[in-house]
Structure 1
Amino acid sequence: MNKLSKVGLALVLSIWMAGPAFAQESLTGTVRDQDTRERLTGVAVKIANSYTGVSTDENGRWELPMPDEDEFTLEFQLLGYTTITRTVYKNELDGPLLVSLTSALRELEEVIVQATRASENTPTAFTFVTEKEIDEQNLGQDMPFLLNMEPSTVITSDAGAGVGYTGIRIRGTDPTRINVTINGIPVNDAESQGVFWVNLPDFASSVESIQVQRGVGTSTNGSGAFGGSVNLQTSTLNPESYARLDNTIGSFNTRKHTVRVGTGLMQDHWSFDARLSKINSDGYIDRAFSDLSSWYASGGYHSEKTLVKAVAFSGSEQTYQAWYGVSEAQLNDGNRTFNEAGTDFGQRTEPYDNETDNYSQTYFQLIWAQELGDHWHLNNAFHWTIGGGFFEQYKVNDFLPTYGIYPLSGTDTVTNSDLIRRLWLDNDYYGWTGSAQYLKEGQLELTIGGAFYRYEGRHFGEVIWARYAGDSEIRDIYYDNDAVKDDASAYVRGLYTLRNNWNIFADLQVRQVNYTFLGFNRQLENVEQDDQLTFLNPKVGLSYNTLRGHKAYASYSIGNREPSRQDYVDTTPESRPLPETLRNLEAGYHIKERNWSAQANVYWMDYVNQLVLTGAINDVGANVRVNVPRSYRLGIELVGGGQIGRRNPLRIEGNVTLSRNKIREYTEFVPTFDPNYTRIDSLALATTYTDTDLAFSPSLIAGLQASYTVPKLDLTVTLLNKYVGRQYLDNTQSLEKSLDPFTTSDLRLQYDKSFSSVLKGLTATFQINNLFNALYSPNGYTFSENYLFDNGAGGFDQTGATAYNYFFPQGGTNFLASLGLRF
């Protein structure tokens, strides 16, 4: 553990152990806006069935004489907000009451995401990212970089600058195991199960809030959460009209330009919002440019009981590929920015200038939320996602029959040629999600929900140029593989509050998946397979809340997940892998006080048949993932934060994750090649390991950030630090195949000034990333090969396993500068 991580751990533990004592001579509390977290003035606070009441002051605070009764009810009421009641037990009072009110018009928008989000009393581990926190960090980098300081996260960027292809891991689990929804509608690709944030450039500018759940979490829509879930809610109603301009420039020729406008609430019912964004970056890695654009539009009808909202957003990207990484040999020679893309693995001296990924994706959502009586809410959403694009690649001296190209009759036989190919994907993803919710404050939260989706994907390839074209015709298709996937689920979830502040949680989901794929694969082999799977995902839990804001909880969940497209396409029914199962136990304690908070969460994630790469070759000669019977993750997460000083100018927040991530038994297979580089499967090397670390699962992750606000200058200075322990590139726990631990520090200066004129506000931000120029790689991959060579005595000897490591280096010290104008 390095010095920074020790300091971070000490600070988090200090916040956890500290805390003021409260004397309860009167009844006091604070009321805030649920969404903005601003303190509300003028809230009527009344003891039910009495004439005793007060209003909150300019700081949202109130104070009442302590009633004589041991049990009583408080009412909180403010025009434009939903009235709530809170039952108070005097013997449990040990501090001020913290209450949040929801805007009456916004409340229905909250219902849209509540069906897939954890509530305050849900016994699971989660964090909440507010609009203000998103806005502070939104300088043009992709969504994973805005979540870097969340507990147990590790982020990466192929291009090394946070723009383009990026990813996030939670508790060591990869992006294909992290469920992502937007307004409760699934975003994960139905086949690969990953989320490609590059297709959603600057989407953060249209996001109101984010909830990050760790572990299985609550029932959600789409593929199951195996490491966590990220739930995004798009911008909700802004009652006032507005316009906003944001411009960012930075290192690596990074630029972001964003325009946002909104009508506010018109004629008491209608609102419209729109955004246009453009992002460009040359990337840290050679030629790894990104040319991204996006738009967002929404329009809605709002009343106290009805919300009808249409949302559409789209993203287009062209990125020069950097997904091959940088070889260990190049790194050792100091070539940290070397890019192999465009050279066909070094066979072409001058890189091809258009080795690019080109893709666009457009989302349509129609949402209807309805309040039925005092307690029931109905939510329906219909969605359609249209995607299409290609990856263009130069191949040197490739074998033409692979592409269905053969020599013309009467000509010299030419079987190999340089060529340029495009690998296409066109898809449609459409369906429905819905839920009915019964919400009775302080007693019962009941949700009955379901979803149905269909995915239709077409995978095909074409050769757009060849030096020797043979008998090919323009727009010939050399492989065509269509796929259809139906996904249906239903769930019921309840949270019941007992009189003594105990909460009982239960959640049961049934999910059925039907997957059919047919046509030809790239080897021109006919593929006709289908699979039908039914999953039962139960969750139970218990939590205890005190009125002061303390919470103890425990839960047990089971999640199941189907294999991905590649697991199916590269197998036969006989070698097809089994679905994965995760048994997840979470337990924790959460403290919330006026100026500080702390949380400890212990987790146990027990996997059955987890899919991992072993190097094994199946019955069709493909190197695919296989099931390992048993593996697990055991860890503790400590999260804390506090404000120090008069008017709280200094805020410190930190998190530490200590974990043990193991495969109980794992067999690695290393392929063997003869001197002509022909694979000999019968001579593959097999080595069995026991109790080894899971790949990409650091045993220590720590984050620490400190913010100091100078009120008279409207200036906030924030220092952000992140430590990530050693990660292994595969499951052998080999030091030679690992990523070194690293520490990064970012410094952000932000000036934010409000005005009462046409210009309502100005925000200027200057951020230095990687302040101390750390040379690090958060991601990579490895493969090994064994070679036969002539021993000079009429036979062959073997080299043994030779490992080839590739890394994704991140940029050194760099900056981003942004200016935002609010009208």
Structure 2
Amino acid sequence: MKKTTHFLMVAVVLLFSTVMMAQSTVSGTVIDADLNSPLPGANVVEKNTTNGTSTDFDGKFTMTTKATSGQIVISYVGYGSVTLSFNGNTNLGTIKLTSDNSLDEIVIIGSGVIDLAEDRQTPIAVSTIKAQQIQEKTGNSDLPEILKSTPSVQSIQGGGFGDGQLFLRGFDQTNTAFMLNGQPINSPEDGRMFWSNWSGVLDVAQAVQVQRGLGSSKLAISSVGGTVNIVTKTIDKREGGFVQQMVANDNYTKTTAAYSTGMLKGGWAFTALLGHWQGDGWKDHTDGQGQTYFLSIGYKPNENNIFNLMVTGAPQWHAADGFNSLQRYLDNGRRYNFAYTGVDSPNLLKGGFYPTGRNIYHKPVANLSWDLTINDNSSLSSVLYASAGRGAFASTRRSNNIPTYARGSNNNHNWYGLISNYSNQLNENLSLNVGVDTRLYNGIHFRSVNEFLSVNSVSASSAYNGGSYEITDVFGGINPWNVFFNPNDDHKQRLHGFGNYDYEEHINYYGVFGQLEYANDSFSAFFQGSVSTQSHVRTEYANATAEGKSEESDKINNTGFNVKAGASYNLNENNIVFINAGYYSRQPFHSDLFTDDRSSNQLNPFVKGNQKITGFEAGYKFLGDQVSANLNIYHTTWDDKIDYSSRDTDDDNFDDEFTQTSPLKQVHMGVELEVFTRFMDGLDINGFISVGDWTYDGNVTTRTTDDTGAVVSQGATSYIDGAKVGQAAQFTAGISADYEILPRFKVGANWNQYDNLYGNADFGSDEFENQSNRGSIKLPSYDTVDAGVSYKWLLGKDDKNSLQFRVNINNLFDEVYIENSRDNIHVDAGDVTWKGVNVDNGVRFGYGRTWNVSMRYNF
């Protein structure tokens, strides 16, 4: 806590030590031309003089010029400069800067359905990561890693490529809404996110915006912790491209190339990106490889219409890393991951290592956007999208500890949707948005044989298939392209019987939404509302009772809604206060509705209705010339939630028992402070502190089943009242600094501190049963330091081309730390511990020191 105390003192000094500047004769507001968001720290210089200033954190500037008339030059690193004339006291209004990177000068379309915070006057708790920072700092990490220097965000790296997780205000990814160009991308079944399926989005991202809490999204989305908006490139306005090569630790390599035609005669524009990556993984035996593709076809027939077709995908496979006991890591090292040796696999050299689990998936996504400008005051934006996912998690089955075959747990889907939003500026102060949100989803789940290892066939049995039968064919292997184009549609070649499943579901969602906002120079207020209906039908094959006859569940219909309202008041141009409140009546996930959605149409008796989320937040924004700050407080209550926990009972890395609870209640409250400073040109020093208190309220009853769906225990009481919510640190803090030492030569580093981190509340464990609630175990605090250096070398005529170099070192000092625990085993007399943690807990260590180096040629 000593480091944190020092940081808090610095943040408070920065927040309250600003001396306000005097009036000036030339003023204006500098914004990003693509995102319509302020550009703080832009340089404003009177031409042919040394007289200048910088924009504040609202993008505004005022300055006194030495001459009564002349020109000023406005510039910002990574953007093209603008020269404007003035004559006497002049307000230049809004000045738009565009990126000087050939693939960053874009037209964002579908903007009417992309709920960026800048589109609404009333503030929210928000942080935005833009293209330049994404390009520099992402390296070979998942998206959650670039968000860890924002308040109340915890990034868990996981074990394998694409297995990262994000926690926002203590809520996991299933309860944080993720949007790609306005399209919801969380699984409709259970809200989960798999970053391995989205590894390419950061290559084409224009911005990533984290909206904590209530956010600005108008959709009735499954958001409790907040919303993450990913905005990708669409229509590039000028010709150009790049080629990039990256290498990193553990034999990682990634090659990416992109090209845009720019806007051609006739209004057409084309952009394409291709990439390939592969590596061994930081954890033992977590190798993987994949591709990235992105295609954008834009058409602008006139000033009132813009169309864009986007197709993107990231086919990949990667070996997985499970949880191991802390003792096993102490015995074998923190990189330890079990794999079989000497296995003769069609996809590996004889005698190589064969992982206990591997993810293989291909999920192409296509969306067609249309932006229609109706008149000066109204517009219509629509996005029609589709996704067809195919793939499996292949786990190794064994007999007498000898691997026999790789069993694929397939999760295929067909997903279609339409979002359309009409916007109207009713008058100078009042704006209206209304729209529709439709989603149609078909999930296809079954188990099959992905590879034969030491056998040539596998026996299965079900009434649907007329009794016993032999599976002699394999599907998929580890090739995601083969999985996609050659899926297993034959029920006789799917695994039925003990511990296996074969079922489908259809989930249809229809919603309407709207927002009304009033804004004048000093006050703004908004009201949002949405209502939706969602239907569920489940079809069973493996456990059907008649040959060739599937069994269909009754249709389940749920209606949900949400309402949000807020207001803000500008005390003056530097000080803003705001308050927001909201209530969600959220339909249960499909996975909540059945006692075991893998094997039964039986409805879950624990589900009594919708989940209820109530949120309140208030904030204060300070906008100064050299210092800016955001202070937020929040309180979120989540009631009637159905929860699951899972346990590995035999230390084989895979879940063997699953516990489901009756409706439970969580209460999350906290305070967040962000401070941004620029005391001199080229030097940015920013920091944040988040202090949370996240607990369970009340006790629950539990139902535990094994991997086959058989009931292990039912009706037990889990005494969790007052226990801390685990897996994400309830105290986080960080400081980051970036300094442009020489033109286009920049160094930077960030330090992050994590404390009040607790183990997962395992509802079915002895720690919470029989009135023995001992709370959640507390894990050791830790801190990490990341550093980077970059240089941009200008080339070609008029310096239009460039060669960029970037080096990142993460966890610079090789901190050894537990990033989360799936168990909650306390310490009793005589127990063996490591830093106060019982070594019987299943944990995951964070990555040690890693690095990546990239070279990028822009043309």
TM-score normalized with structure 2 length: 0.78
Contact 2:662 2:701 in 1 (8 A): no
Residue equivalent to 1:805: 841
Residue 252 of structure 1 deviates from its aligned partner by: 1.5
Residue equivalent to 1:649: 682
Residue equivalent to 2:225: 227
Residue 340 of structure 1 deviates from its aligned partner by: 3.6
- In structure 1, C-alpha distance between the alignment counterparts of 2:703 and 2:388, rounded to whole Å: 40
Residue 148 of structure 1 deviates from its aligned partner by: 1.8
Answering whether residue 513 of structure 2 is matched by residue 491 of structure 1, we say yes
Residue equivalent to 1:819: 855
Instruction: State the Cα deviation string for residues 90-122 of structure 1 (Å, max 9, x = none).
Output: xxxxxxxxxxxxxxx967627344446553522
Residue 39 of structure 1 deviates from its aligned partner by: 6.7
Contact 1:108 1:306 in 2 (8 A): no
Instruction: State the Cα deviation string for residues 441-473 of structure 1 (Å, max 9, x = none).
Output: 962332111110100111111245447745414
Residue equivalent to 1:408: none
Residue equivalent to 1:570: 595
Out of 286, 289, 292, which is 2:290 matched to? 292
Residue equivalent to 2:823: 782
Pair 351,114 (structure 1): closer, same or farther in 2 beyond 3 Å: closer
3-state secondary structure, aligned to 1:492 = strand
Contact 1:584 1:603 in 2 (8 A): yes
Contact 1:199 1:360 in 2 (8 A): yes
Contact 1:393 1:420 in 2 (8 A): yes
Pair 560,289 (structure 1): closer, same or farther in 2 beyond 3 Å: farther
Residue equivalent to 1:594: 625
Pair 445,110 (structure 1): closer, same or farther in 2 beyond 3 Å: farther
Out of 174, 178, 181, which is 2:179 matched to? 181
Answering whether residue 237 of structure 2 is matched by residue 239 of structure 1, we say yes
3-state secondary structure, aligned to 1:10 = helix
Where does 1:319-338 land on structure 2 (aligned, <5 Å)?
319-322=318-321, 324-338=322-336
Contact 1:123 1:505 in 2 (8 A): no
Instruction: State the Cα deviation string for residues 512-542 of structure 1 (Å, max 9, x = none).
Output: 1111111146799967254211112000110
Residue equivalent to 2:576: 551
Contact 1:217 1:228 in 2 (8 A): yes
Where does 1:66-81 land on structure 2 (aligned, <5 Å)?
76=93
Out of 535, 542, 547, which is 2:560 matched to? 535
Residue equivalent to 1:724: 754
Residue equivalent to 1:660: 693
Out of 373, 376, 396, which is 2:375 matched to? 373
Instruction: State the Cα deviation string for residues 43-97 of structure 1 (Å, max 9, x = none).
Output: 9x9xxxxxx9986544568877669xxxxxx67477999xxxxxxxxxxxxxxxx
Partner AA of 1:579 in structure 2: N
- In structure 2, C-alpha distance between the alignment counterparts of 1:456 and 1:214, rounded to whole Å: 30
Pair 777,622 (structure 1): closer, same or farther in 2 beyond 3 Å: closer
Contact 2:660 2:703 in 1 (8 A): no
Residue equivalent to 1:743: 783
Residue 383 of structure 1 deviates from its aligned partner by: 0.6
3-state secondary structure, aligned to 1:136 = helix
Partner AA of 1:771 in structure 2: L
Residue equivalent to 2:795: 755
Residue equivalent to 1:709: 740
Contact 1:458 1:483 in 2 (8 A): yes
3-state secondary structure, aligned to 1:511 = strand
Answering whether residue 807 of structure 2 is matched by residue 766 of structure 1, we say yes
Q: Which moved more, 1:7-16 or 1:509-518?
A: 7-16
Contact 2:30 2:96 in 1 (8 A): no
TM-score normalized with structure 1 length: 0.81
**Identity value in percent:** 20
Contact 1:762 1:821 in 2 (8 A): yes
Contact 2:391 2:410 in 1 (8 A): yes
Residue equivalent to 2:358: 356
Residue equivalent to 2:484: none
- In structure 2, C-alpha distance between the alignment counterparts of 1:527 and 1:497, rounded to whole Å: 52
Pair 169,191 (structure 1): closer, same or farther in 2 beyond 3 Å: same
Answering whether residue 551 of structure 2 is matched by residue 518 of structure 1, we say no
Residue 783 of structure 1 deviates from its aligned partner by: 6.7
Contact 2:115 2:229 in 1 (8 A): no
Answering whether residue 661 of structure 2 is matched by residue 626 of structure 1, we say yes
Answering whether residue 566 of structure 2 is matched by residue 580 of structure 1, we say no
- In structure 1, C-alpha distance between the alignment counterparts of 2:730 and 2:106, rounded to whole Å: 41
- In structure 2, C-alpha distance between the alignment counterparts of 1:77 and 1:538, rounded to whole Å: 33
3-state secondary structure, aligned to 1:145 = helix
Q: Which moved more, 1:633-642 or 1:280-289?
A: 280-289
Partner AA of 2:620 in structure 1: Y
Contact 1:580 1:609 in 2 (8 A): yes
Residue 361 of structure 1 deviates from its aligned partner by: 0.6
Equivalent pairs, count: 733
Runs of 5+ unmatched residues, structure 1: 46-51, 68-73, 82-104, 344-348, 400-415, 786-801
Residue equivalent to 1:457: 443
Where does 1:417-496 land on structure 2 (aligned, <5 Å)?
418-439=404-425, 443-463=429-449, 465=452, 466=455, 469=458, 471-475=469-473, 476-477=493-494, 478=496, 479-496=501-518
Pair 64,32 (structure 1): closer, same or farther in 2 beyond 3 Å: farther
Pair 770,118 (structure 1): closer, same or farther in 2 beyond 3 Å: same
Runs of 5+ unmatched residues, structure 2: 48-59, 61-67, 76-81, 99-104, 342-350, 460-468, 474-492, 597-601, 648-655, 762-767, 827-837
Pair 41,356 (structure 1): closer, same or farther in 2 beyond 3 Å: same
Instruction: State the Cα deviation string for residues 578-601 of structure 1 (Å, max 9, x = none).
Output: 432211101001122233210100
Out of 170, 194, 197, which is 1:196 matched to? 194
Contact 2:690 2:733 in 1 (8 A): yes
Out of 265, 277, 280, which is 2:278 matched to? 280
Pair 569,337 (structure 1): closer, same or farther in 2 beyond 3 Å: farther
- In structure 2, C-alpha distance between the alignment counterparts of 1:640 and 1:656, rounded to whole Å: 9
3-state secondary structure, aligned to 1:132 = helix
Residue 358 of structure 1 deviates from its aligned partner by: 0.8
Where does 1:33-432 land on structure 2 (aligned, <5 Å)?
33-35=32-34, 37=39, 56-58=72-74, 76=93, 109=109, 111-115=111-115, 117=117, 119=119, 121-159=121-159, 163-221=161-219, 223-267=221-265, 269-302=267-300, 303-322=302-321, 324-340=322-338, 352-353=354-355, 355-397=357-399, 418-432=404-418
Residue 215 of structure 1 deviates from its aligned partner by: 0.8
Partner AA of 2:719 in structure 1: T
Contact 1:432 1:453 in 2 (8 A): yes
Contact 1:729 1:737 in 2 (8 A): yes
- In structure 2, C-alpha distance between the alignment counterparts of 1:709 and 1:456, rounded to whole Å: 51
- In structure 2, C-alpha distance between the alignment counterparts of 1:421 and 1:25, rounded to whole Å: 71
- In structure 2, C-alpha distance between the alignment counterparts of 1:108 and 1:685, rounded to whole Å: 53
- In structure 1, C-alpha distance between the alignment counterparts of 2:339 and 2:360, rounded to whole Å: 15
- In structure 2, C-alpha distance between the alignment counterparts of 1:575 and 1:527, rounded to whole Å: 19
Instruction: State the Cα deviation string for residues 414-463 of structure 1 (Å, max 9, x = none).
Output: xx994432222221101211001124796233211111010011111124
- In structure 2, C-alpha distance between the alignment counterparts of 1:738 and 1:332, rounded to whole Å: 19
Residue 350 of structure 1 deviates from its aligned partner by: 9.2
- In structure 1, C-alpha distance between the alignment counterparts of 2:46 and 2:309, rounded to whole Å: 34
Pair 591,338 (structure 1): closer, same or farther in 2 beyond 3 Å: same
Contact 2:113 2:419 in 1 (8 A): no
